[in-house]
């Protein structure tokens, strides 16, 4: 039976809904604020699989974007500027270095989405972004659909259409911690990518597509996630969006839970949470989160694409439909 409840009141006075969906021992709790995955639990496993909060208040700021749907342009856009359909545009600059990130200060992670439909195994959120919102051209209709599929799989589908050529790159922004530890140290990560994007100190890609061989970014055979990795980088899965394909595998330090990630997206931003902080609120584990409490694994297009012609294009045209699908599947050893 679907569980729907009022989770609180958003900044605009609207009610924030919380919907629980479940199948085959996997249970997800979603909130309309930010179209956010608030909690994720696996039967037989005591701790939550994602970072989140038991109450609404921390989500009204959510500086770490826990579980949110971020856009209309995920990740970084250098200087907040881009030529779109041959015309220069200035987008909202919301980083200390003067760049645009995750849709701007009023991006989709900050909005209270509409619950369009739901069942015991799925929920669909919808929102509309006005023409000019955060500087982007085109009115945009966006849907984020969460489904629990058989075999303990969470599927996230994000679609969008626009009335004018615009930039469009959404990402789901959960932080995963599969063993309930205070940090993700000792988690084992495998990434099916032979290349990654080098970045400047402010996180903006240099434009170079580098080989992972003989670098700390070579996770092809799997390696432990440690502070020395210094992860906040895009791994290049392909040079264009394609059919759903395996992308990564993450196992908790205790070896009790493994998560398999598949996606349609050409990029996978992996961030080790070194900057987590800013919310003095107890999380799902009952204590506050700190640096490296979780690992963000974000399927998306490559960051700063408009300034790099060799990157997959982030332009969306009025006659097209943006669609990305990602699946997070969980297994436990017998």
Residue with tokens 């700021």: 61
d(CA 65, CA 57): 13
Catalytic positions, please?
A: 173, 298
List the one residue out of 307, 294, 310, 299 whose CA is nearest residue 47: 294
d(CA 50, CA 40): 6
Extract the tokens encoding 297: 């694994």
DSSP string, 213-279: TTSTT--TT-EE--GGG--EEEEE--SS--S-EEEEEEE-TTSS-EEEEEES-SEEEEE--TT----
Chain mean position to CA 206: 22
> Does residue 325 contact residue 264 with C-beta atoms inside 8 Å?
yes
**CA dihedral (302, 164, 174, 157) positive or negative:** negative
d(CA 51, CA 248): 19
d(CA 28, CA 154): 8
> Does residue 51 contact residue 45 with C-beta atoms inside 8 Å?
no
DSSP tag of 280: -
Longest distance between any two alpha carbons in the chain, whole Å: 57
Q: Which residues contact 174 (CB under 8 A, 6 or more apart)?
A: 37, 40, 50, 51, 66, 67, 294, 296, 297
> Does residue 273 contact residue 147 with C-beta atoms inside 8 Å?
no
């Amino acid at each position: 039976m679907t569980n729907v409840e009022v989770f609180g009141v958003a900044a605009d006075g609207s009610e924030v809904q919380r919907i629980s969906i479940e199948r085959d021992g996997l249970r997800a709790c979603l909130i309309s604020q930010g179209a956010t995955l608030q909690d994720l639990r696996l039967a037989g496993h005591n701790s939550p699989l994602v970072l989140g909060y038991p109450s609404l208040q921390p989500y009204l700021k959510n500086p770490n974007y826990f579980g949110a749907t971020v856009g209309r342009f995920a990740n970084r856009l250098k200087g907040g500027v881009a030529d779109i359909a041959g015309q220069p545009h200035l987008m909202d600059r919301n980083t200390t270095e003067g760049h645009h990130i995750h849709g701007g200060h009023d991006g989709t992670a900050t909005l209270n989405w509409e619950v369009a439909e739901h069942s015991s195994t799925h929920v669909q959120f919808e929102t509309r972004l006005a023409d000019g919102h955060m500087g982007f051209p085109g009115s945009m209709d966006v849907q984020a659909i969460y489904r629990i599929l058989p075999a303990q799989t969470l599927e996230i589908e994000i679609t969008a259409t626009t009335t004018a050529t615009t930039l469009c790159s959404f990402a789901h922004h959960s932080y995963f911690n599969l063993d309930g530890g205070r940090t993700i140290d000792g988690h084992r990560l495998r990434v099916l990518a032979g290349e990654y994007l080098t970045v400047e100190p402010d996180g903006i890609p240099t434009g170079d597509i580098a080989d992972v061989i003989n670098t700390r970014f070579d996770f092809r055979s799997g390696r432990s996630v440690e502070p020395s990795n210094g992860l906040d980088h895009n791994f290049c899965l392909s040079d264009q969006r394609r059919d759903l394909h395996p992308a990564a595998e993450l196992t908790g330090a205790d070896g009790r839970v493994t998560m398999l990630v598949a996606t349609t997206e050409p990029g996978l931003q992996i961030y080790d949470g070194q900057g987590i902080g800013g919310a003095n609120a107890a999380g799902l584990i009952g204590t506050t989160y700190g640096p490296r409490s979780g690992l963000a694994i974000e399927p998306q297009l490559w960051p700063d694409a408009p300034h790099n012609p060799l990157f997959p294009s982030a332009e969306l045209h009025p006659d097209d439909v943006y669609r990305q699908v990602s699946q997070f599947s969980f297994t436990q050893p017998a």
